[in-house]
Chains A and B, each alone.
Chain A
Amino acid sequence: MDNMSIFERIDKLGALLSAASPEGKIESKKKLHKLVYLLQQTGEDFDEDFIFYHFGVFSPTLAGDLEFAKNAGQIRIEEPQGNDWGYVIKLSDKLPGKPRISLSDSAKKLVQHLADREPQLLETLSTIVYLNRNYYRGSALAQKLRDLKPDLSEHYSEAFKLSRELFQIDIES
């Protein structure tokens, strides 16, 4: 009654991957975590819990669901080799039919708008949205962002622009 089942959650992830690219692929786990969070904040029904850590928002539920979907053969995850970084998550070719749960049209648009952006930009944007949801506004938000993410300063101005356009969050930089 209160929660989506793991199968429904995975279906929803499948819908997100389908919206991200024609091959049903997202090149970065970071991007996926941040995208699901951003979609949830627009009101899209994703039943994943998020925590905040050194690299921004992260969902242990989503991490578990990805492993489950991989073991069930519904998605493939290509691991980074050697000292490289960046996982590739792709819908399996064997997935039967269409996912039973789909994304709303506005969510699809958001995914298409953000799926090709850099993971670090999405980390900055989702941190802004997270801080906004946690009582930070205007210059206080900008100050907290600088405090938490000094290494992402090159993404601030684009993230400020996106947060204004997509989430109506105004920040005095």
Chain B
Amino acid sequence: MISEVVIAMCTEMAENVRVETRENTQESQNSRSSIENRELEEKSSGKKKVLERLKQIQKFIRDPIHDIVKVDNDLLLSVLDSEPMQRLRSIKQLGTAYLVYPGAEHSRFTHSLGVYHLASSLMNQLELDGHKIDDYDKLVVKLAALLHDTGHGPFSHLFEAVLKEVDYKFVKKHDSWSKKLIMEHKSLAGLFDKYDEALTLKRDVTDVLSNSYKPLYLSSIVNAQFDVDRLDYMLRDSFMTGVNYGRFDLPWIFRNLSLKRVSEPDEDRRMVEVERITLDARRGLSSLEEFLLGNLNLYEHVYYHKTVQAANGIIISALIRAIDLMREGKDLGVSSKALSRIAKSEEMEIDDYLELTDGTVISWLTKWSLSEVDKILRDLSHRFLTRNLFKTIDLTDLSGKENACFKIRAEVEKKLNQDGWNSRYYCIGIDSDRIGYTPLSADEIYVTQKDGTTRRYSEIVFEKDGNEVSKAIVMRLKLRRSLLVLPEEYLKFANEVKKGWTT
């Protein structure tokens, strides 16, 4: 009897708890949806105000790749004139590649203009195809395209390697610096805030660069395996270096792009419906494959060219040497807050970072090449300025053998040190991987087939009756290079050591 009463009481209590919980859940859902509605309304009114404040203009800029680039509002023009953007004129798009391809003198500035132009053109194409894009969203994507490379350091990617090597603990990667500049650079962030009381515009622009701006397909215009960044740099780098790799039929690709809803799997193959920019496979597949193959060819013959890597090696070594010396308290005769903070393991301020351009580094090297402060620094600087570059030996074939590269390098280093060189600066290992196309990646390329279905490119390539040429192209899209960079005097010795491992 007692137990029945207890059970009844417990059941009643449990029911009450359940009702209460349901009420709480309902209440919390109502409150959440009211918060969400309020947030949506605020956001929508904020966007409207930004658009109302824009002044439409017609500014035309001539470009060797895209002919005419049109800037159509005053905010875009002010951003173009801002300090972080103008600084990009002093950073070469291809770092030290001009020492191999003399025409490769183009800057991150012209590339950024090109990316902006292509982002605008691609959105126009999607609209022509019947998909309306919100004016605010278009503005955000254009700004992101324009600003995506502002965070590059001297000689583009090279400076990131220096920061890593000297164990700099703060923001190292250029894409993180780009976002930092958008959010925190006084005049740039101030410019956004002038147009946007709600202060969300700059965050929306960084969201595109972080791939988290909704609708998510908009971010993929600037950030994906097949994006306007790659489309521009390939055409531009190909044209400026004079190589014939990397060219493809851009107008035809654009003509055949559209927006579709597709079923996309997560990492564990769980499906969800999403919007994706897709390419009409019947017409555009050959152009896409030209693009993929061209990208890898550029990596193989331009970006990872052995002499370019050797030039990179010298400049990286010189900067590491300079920082090492500053850490020992030596005065190198250059006044640079950035360099001084890096040496002290302090965080660089935005203004310190912006002082760093190719020109700044070249001026340091010029000074060091004439200075008596340090023999190694003088030698490295002089070598770079006179193009007396290091040589390379290719260890790629040996990189699969247990510890082979490590042991060859150790032997060369030992010899260098025995002869009085310092192997930290005179023997540099450079490992480069490039996968021109990653099948089944989160940023897959989607294609629409003859029957109207849209699928991932890798699925149609690798299915049973897939095109053999496409298969061969995708299999070819992998590049791995393991180089040892060292003074010419030691090339013969290093090759002999290598021979011992190959025979």
- Chain A interface (Cβ < 8 Å from any Cβ of B): 1-7, 28-30, 32-33, 51-55, 58, 60-61, 63-64, 80, 84-87, 119, 130-131, 134-136, 140, 143-144, 146-148
| B207: interface (CB < 8 Å) | yes
Q: Tell yes or no: B449 within 8 A of A by CB.
A: no
Per-position contact with A for B410-450: 1 when CB-CB < 8 Å, else 0? 00000000000000000011111101001011110000000
CB-defined contacts of B305 to chain A, threshold 8 Å: none
Q: Please give me the residue from chain A that is nearest to B441 by CB atom.
A: A60
Measured CB to CB, the nearest residue on chain B to A123 is: B266
CA distance A75 to B482 in the complex (A): 24
Chain B residues in 8 Å Cβ range of A60: 225, 435, 438, 441-443
**B-side contacts of A80, CB under 8 Å:** 268-269
Determine if A53 and B482 form an interchain contact, defined as CB atoms under 8 angstroms apart. Answer: no
Interface segment out of the listed B16-24, B100-108, B160-168, B236-244: B160-168
Q: Which residues of B contact A51 (CB under 8 A)?
A: 211, 223, 442-443
Is A2 in contact with B165, judged by CB distance below 8 angstroms? yes
Given contacts A1-B313, A54-B442, A55-B267, 9 further A-B contacts (CB under 8 A): A5-B405, A28-B267, A30-B267, A30-B268, A51-B223, A58-B442, A60-B442, A63-B441, A144-B212
B430 touches A2 (CB 8 A): yes
12 A-B residue pairs with CB within 8 Å: A2-B157, A2-B165, A2-B316, A5-B405, A53-B211, A54-B264, A54-B266, A60-B225, A63-B438, A85-B266, A87-B268, A131-B212
CB distance from B217 to the nearest CB of A (A): 10
* B212 touching A148, Cβ below 8 Å: yes
Closest 5 CB pairs of A and B: A2-B161, A53-B442, A58-B442, A29-B267, A30-B267
State whether A85 and B270 are in contact (beta carbons under 8 Å apart), knowing that A2-B161, A51-B223, A147-B214 are contacts in the complex.
Answer: yes
Interface hub of A3, A131, A134 (most chain B Cβ within 10 A): A134
Q: Within the assembled complex, what's the spacing in Å between the Cα atoms of A3 and B164? A: 9
B480 on interface, CB distance cutoff 8 Å: yes
Q: A87-B268, A134-B206 are in contact. Are A53 and B216 (CB under 8 A)?
A: yes
Inter-subunit contact B179/A135 (CB<8 Å): yes
User: Would you call B164 and A134 a contact (CB within 8 A)?
Assistant: no
Q: Which of A32, A52, A85, A140 has the most CB of B within 10 A?
A: A52
Give residues of chain B (208-240) contacting chain A, Cβ–Cβ below 8 Å: 210-212, 214, 216, 223, 225
**A130 & B210 in contact (Cβ 8 Å cutoff):** yes
Q: Is the beta-carbon distance between A134 and B210 smaller than 8 angstroms?
A: yes
CA distance A6 to B265 in the complex (A): 26
Counting CB contacts under 8 A, is B348 at the interface?
no
Q: Is the CB of A64 within 8 A of B268?
A: no
If A6-B433, A60-B441 touch, whether A52 touches B211 (CB-CB below 8 Å) is yes
Closest chain A CB from B422 CB (angstroms): 15
Tell whether, in the assembled complex, residue B268 and residue A86 are in contact, meaning their CB atoms are under 8 Å apart.
yes
Residues of chain A contacted by B269 (CB below 8 angstroms): 80, 84-87
> What B residues does A1 contact at CB under 8 A?
161, 165, 313, 316, 428-430
B210 touches A52 (CB 8 A): yes
Q: How far is the CB of A65 from chain B (nearest CB, A)?
A: 9
Q: How far is the CB of B210 from chain A (nearest CB, A)?
A: 5
| Chain B hits for A148, CB < 8 A | 212, 214
Does residue B39 face the partner (Cβ distance < 8 Å to A)?
Answer: yes
Decide yes or no: A64 and B438 within 8 Å by CB, A54-B264, A87-B268 being known contacts: yes
Shortest Cβ distance from A3 into chain B, in angstroms?
A: 5
Q: What is the CB-to-nearest-CB distance from A154 to chain B, in angstroms, rounded to a whole number?
A: 11
* Minimum C-beta distance from A93 to chain B (A): 19
CB within 8 Å for A5 and B482 given contacts A80-B268, A135-B206? yes
B399 within 8 A of A: yes
Min CB distance A23 to B, Å, is: 19
Instruction: Please give me the residue from chain A that is nearest to B400 by CB atom.
Output: A7
Q: Determine the distance from Cα of A32 to Cα of B438 in the docked complex, in whole angstroms.
A: 18
Q: How far is the CB of B206 from chain A (nearest CB, A)?
A: 6
A64 contact set on B, CB distance < 8 A: 435, 438
- How far is B212's CA from A136's CA once the two chains are assembled, in angstroms? 12
In the bound assembly, the distance between CA atoms of A46 and B39 in angstroms comes to 37
Are B441 and A58 within 8 A (Cβ)?
Answer: yes
CA of A146 to CA of B39, assembled, Å:
11
- Please give, as numbers and ranges, the residues of chain B lying within 8 Å of A30 by CB-CB distance: 266-268
Say whether A134 contacts B207, CB under 8 Å.
yes
Residues in A whose Cβ lies below 8 Å from that of B433 = 3, 5-6, 61
**Nearest A residue to B225, CB-CB:** A60
Q: Which residues from B are CB-within-8-Å of A63?
A: 438, 440-441
Q: Is B14 an interface residue (CB 8 A)?
A: no
- Bound together, the chains give a CA A1 to CA B442 distance in angstroms of 28
Contact B442 A28 (CB under 8 A): no
B383 close to A (CB within 8 Å): no
Closest chain B residue, CB of each to CB of A34 = B267
Do A85 and B272 have beta carbons less than 8 Å apart? no
Q: How far is the CA of A112 from the CA of B400 in the complex (A)?
A: 31
Q: Report A40 CB to chain B, min CB distance, Å.
A: 12
Question: Inside 8 A of A144's CB, which chain B residues have their CB?
Answer: 212
Q: Check A58 against B480 for contact (C-beta < 8 Å).
A: no
Q: Which residue of B lies closest to A55 (CB)?
A: B266
Q: Which residues of B contact A29 (CB under 8 A)?
A: 267-268
- Distance in Å: Cβ of A79 to nearest Cβ of chain B: 8
Task: Name B132-174 residues within 8 Å CB distance of A.
Answer: 157, 160-161, 164-165
**Is B497 interfacial (CB 8 A cutoff)?**
no
Chain A: minimal CB distance from B406 (Å): 10
CA distance A53 to B213 in the complex (A): 10
What's the Cα separation between A58 and B442 when bound, in Å?
7
Q: Which of A3, A53, A87, A140 contacts B431 (CB 8 A)?
A: A3
Given known contacts A52-B212, A85-B268, A5 and B431 CB-to-CB distance under 8 angstroms: yes
Taking CB atoms, residues of chain A closer than 8 Å to B272 are: 54-55
Q: CA of A6 to CA of B440 in the docked complex: distance in angstroms?
A: 19
Q: With an 8 A cutoff between CB atoms, is B36 at the interface?
A: yes
Name B172-222 residues within 8 Å CB distance of A: 179, 183, 203, 206-207, 210-212, 214, 216
